[in-house]
Amino acid sequence: MENEIEYKVQEKPKKIDDRLIIPISIIISGIIIAVAMIYNTKNLILQTQITKNTSVQESVRQISALEEAVLPSDGVVLPVIWGDLGAKLVSAGAIDADKFKAIYEQRGVFTNEYKNLLLGQNSGNLKMTKDNAGYLLNLFWALGLTSKNPVLDSGEMKNPAYGGAQNFASTAGWTMAKGDPMNHYSRHIFFVLTSEQQTLVDKVSRGIYRPCCGNSTNFPDCNHGMAMLGLLEIMASQGVSERDMWKTAMAVNSYWFPDTYLTIATYMKNKGIDWKDVNPQEILGINYSSAQGYAKIASQVVQPREQQGGSGCGVDTGVPAAPQRQQSGCGI
């Protein structure tokens, strides 16, 4: 038998056609580049989001700090003692206690603090907070409207051009008195001011404006103006200095108009001035706190985030406002 020698021929690997090398290389390179681009894009988006979140957090932190400076969460102690002025207002008929209480009781917000301010004796200094700012506004309104004072007797409120003092929101709008509110207008003597004290009230009242209108406290045609007049009279009667009057008025106006003063504070901060360093007399003046002045300031500022609503120009019930900040109107 013939031996057959079998030779196994090892097949050589097939070579890629030289003509395909370049296209394939291009495709592979494209895939690598695409993957890299996708990775880099995702990484860029992530970095952008991180930066954005950090920026937002910093912005919120700054706004929170600003709010705390303008509207302290613990409130502001006023340099006056309320005493039994609430009870005197009730006794004089300037406040009808039953009607006044009913507004708050219906809303479930007539607290022991409110009851004591209206009917009791208060020996300590008043303290204004975000919660009671509206209630104090109403008490000061009643006081300013009914307390005997030359500002009401011979000032702009009595200008014949307006058809009588009874036509203003600060008078006709006060429906919490017993009988016609004009029967109590500048009628009751709750304290007697010296000539120097009255001069101080007149001077400071002419320099305090409010953003719901273009008038100063010396022309108290709405509740905020009348309430501020009442507060100025209390401060003057208790020997508060002019400097502290301006400082207190700015703090009080800030709680009554949170939007306004947070915006003004932002404007001042942008100019490199902290709220603690502003001049209250300047801030309360026509260029900042009047409706016209504030509009000019607001047009130059990115508005702060939404706050709880400020008090309206009517009897404030102490009920939390709608989500957006509410600047003041002039009715109950």
Residue 90: inside a domain, yes or no? Answer: yes
Secondary-structure percent of the chain, ordered helix, strand, coil, rounded to 5: 55, 5, 40
In this prediction, residue 318 carries a pLDDT of 55
Same domain for 285 and 159: yes
In this prediction, residue 35 carries a pLDDT of 62
Structural domain range at position 38: 19-70
Same domain for 194 and 170: yes
Q: Report residue 54's pLDDT band, with 50, 70 and 90 as the boundaries.
A: very low
Q: Where are the alpha helices (DSSP H) in 169-241?
A: 169-172, 195-205, 223-237
- On average, the pLDDT of the chain sits at 85
Q: Report residue 19's pLDDT band, with 50, 70 and 90 as the boundaries.
A: low
Residue 310: inside a domain, yes or no? Answer: no
In this prediction, residue 59 carries a pLDDT of 47
Same domain for 152 and 34: no
Q: How many CB atoms lie within 10 A of CB 249?
A: 24
Same domain for 109 and 171: yes
Residue 259: inside a domain, yes or no? Answer: yes
Residue 312: inside a domain, yes or no? Answer: no
From 261, 212, 208, 265, select the one nearest 231 (Cα to Cα): 208
Domain end (from 70, 90, 113): 70
Same domain for 58 and 188: no
Residue 215: inside a domain, yes or no? Answer: yes
Same domain for 273 and 156: yes
Its sign, for the CA torsion 157, 160, 161, 167, is: positive
Hey, what's the torsion of the CAs at 245, 96, 155, 163, to 10 degrees?
Answer: 150
**Total structural domains within the chain:** 2
For 246-252, which contacts have Cβ atoms below 8 Å and span 24 or more sequence positions? Answer: 246/204, 246/207, 246/280, 246/281, 246/284, 247/280, 248/76, 248/78, 248/79, 249/204, 249/208, 249/280, 249/284, 250/280, 250/283, 250/284, 251/76, 251/78, 251/128, 252/76, 252/78, 252/128, 252/133, 252/228
Reduce the DSSP state of residue 78 to 3 states and report it.
strand
61-77 pLDDT, tens per residue? Answer: 556 899 999 999 999 99
Residue 9: inside a domain, yes or no? Answer: no
Residue 196: inside a domain, yes or no? Answer: yes
Token couple for 276: 């603690």
Same domain for 155 and 38: no
185-226 pLDDT, tens per residue? Answer: 999 999 999 999 999 999 999 999 999 988 999 999 999 999
Same domain for 118 and 193: yes
Residue 304: inside a domain, yes or no? Answer: no
Same domain for 199 and 257: yes
Q: CA–CA separation, 283 vs 275, rounded Å? A: 10
Same domain for 200 and 58: no
More confident residue, 161 or 318: 161
By CB atoms closer than 10 A (0-12, 13-18, 19+), residue 55 is exposed
Q: CA–CA separation, 179 vs 10, rounded Å? A: 120
Same domain for 81 and 53: no
Beta bridge partners of 128: 76
Same domain for 129 and 59: no
